[in-house]
Amino acid sequence: MFDPCKVREDFPILKRKINNHPLIYFDNAASSQKPRQVIEAIKNFYENHNANVHRAVHTLSQEASQLYEDAHEEVAKFINANGIEEIIFVRGTTEAINLVAYAWGLRNLKKGDDVIVSLMEHHSNIVPWEILSNINGFNIKYAEVNNDGTLNYEDFESKISSKTKIVCYSHVSNVTGVINDVKRIAKVAHEYGALTLVDGAQSVPHLPVNVKDLDIDFLAFSGHKMLGPTGIGCLYGKRELLEGMAPFHGGGEMMREVSYNPKTKRCSISWNDLPWKFEAGTPNVGGGVGLMEAIKYLKKLGMENVKEHECNMTEYAMKRLSECRKVEVYGPKDTSIKCGIIPFGVDGLSSHDVALFLDNYGIMVRSGFHCAQPLHQIFKLSSSARVSFYIYNIRREIDRFIEVLKEIELI
């Protein structure tokens, strides 16, 4: 195990004070903080290597291109993909899911087809399919979630049939932290010839993910939730699927040739190789460099160790929260099936009231629907507060959090 107290030394922002209190950052499911190694890598790129990629033969362009390709390679190794051809850089999880919806779904889904989506999904894995369904006329079936926030596997699997073309589900719930058995669902989906799209926004940063072992077809995740900068994320896709898909965006880099025919007065276009045919325009090279450095940092800690640290933090937090008289924890209480996310409420107060009170003491938590309104409907909640942990959080911070919660209970 790594020492989280030593890890904290790499994060400049943790030295801040908020309202004259030491910063306690418990909003990691929304976005993680950045270590100085990532910040310096991005700074070094812009100071010494900044240029457009794959556009020129000069030194800076060659250096930038190599760094950008190295970043794809680092991601591929991190999730055990076959190579950079299976790694597409996007702005984040949301764009990755939309890429699948429009580059694959727009051309492959039709009236009479089914798409299966779980009710614990983030809105970014619901809204694109609803929009596309209104265009193509396919049916969306929503898989039920149990009252404790766990996935109802029997209901999910019963909805998969020969009409199912793709199943869309989270690896880890961004509300409850529940870890879903994505391998089990993928196996059933493939038996019916359906594809799988997994939202890995809350899993790739927090536990080991091996796409070959899971045998999933698409995986979407974001850099900013795993120590990297904002504006960079990844779509993993099996090579044979990506090769058969048309691009999502059109522009520079994504095509091999554009040829004008004077007779037809049209241009014929041939696509570039993978992954570049899905990366139109000038890419976020600095973001790719930052993400590469973030992955190197996480690999040095060890993803099994990252997961174990979060499990320890979650178990300790759940134990301490049980001391609070007016606090209710939502979702499953079994920490063995969770990542480091805990949604909760304080009797008589809205989630925003709780978050604002905690903010007065320098404690940052999320409040609201967490972009997962259907799951809150299942819990019969108008909203919830949420704490989420990462590699730099320590028990002392949880103790302080509990002290302030007990003050809130006195209101």
Catalytic residue positions?
371
For residue 12, give the 3-state DSSP assignment: helix
Amino acid (1-letter code) at residue 310? E
Type of residue at 239: R
Alpha-carbon distance 5 to 3, whole Å? 5
Rounded-to-integer distance, Cα 305 and Cα 289, Å: 24
Name residues whose C-beta falls within 8 Å of residue 368's C-beta, 6 or more positions apart in sequence: 351, 352, 383, 384
CA dihedral 85, 90, 95, 101 (to 10 degrees): -20
CB neighbour class for 123 (10 Å; exposed up to 12, middle 13-18, buried from 19)? middle
Contacts of 275 (CB under 8 A, 6+ apart): 72, 84, 85, 86, 87, 88, 89, 242
Residue 76, burial from CB neighbour count under 10 angstroms (0-12, 13-18, 19+) = buried
Distance CA 161, CA 321 (A): 43
Q: In angstroms, rounded to a whole number, what is the distance separating the alpha carbons of residues 126 and 353?
A: 28
Name the token pair of 275: 């992954």
Give the Cα separation of 400 and 14 in Å (integer).
15
With a CB cutoff of 8 Å and minimum separation 6, the contacts of 259 are: 267, 268, 269
- CA count, 13 A, side-chain hemisphere, 159: 22
Give the pair of three-digit tokens for residue 97: 């899911």
